[in-house]
Amino acid sequence: MFGLGTPELIVIGVIVFLVFGAKRIPEIGKGLGGAIREFRDARKEISNDAPKHVKKDEPKQKASLESQLADKVVNQVPGVKQVLDVKDKVNKVKELMKS
């Protein structure tokens, strides 16, 4: 698993526990699990709905799938929307500073 052993996973777990706290970890896990479930469902729907003569890896379909998954992750994982809002504000401030 990416060359990570037990000690490395324990260190990562402790860091996650310290950063997010005990109350937020189950919420984050639930959000990530839901996002993974939605990804699998969307992938199954697209593979079932795709016409036989159209390739599944067509860029137009791939972009729509990525945007759908990004929207679901933003809505399900706690804190992601706030982080994206802060990132947008920072980019606006950078643009203003350049002017």
pTM of the model: 0.40
Any idea which residue has 């526990």 for tokens? 17
pLDDT tens column, 4-39: 888 888 898 889 888 888 888 888 888 888 888 888
Specify the DSSP class assigned to residue 53: T
Using DSSP, state whether 57 is helix, strand or coil.
coil
Distance CA 21, CA 19 (A): 6
Extract the tokens encoding 56: 């599944």
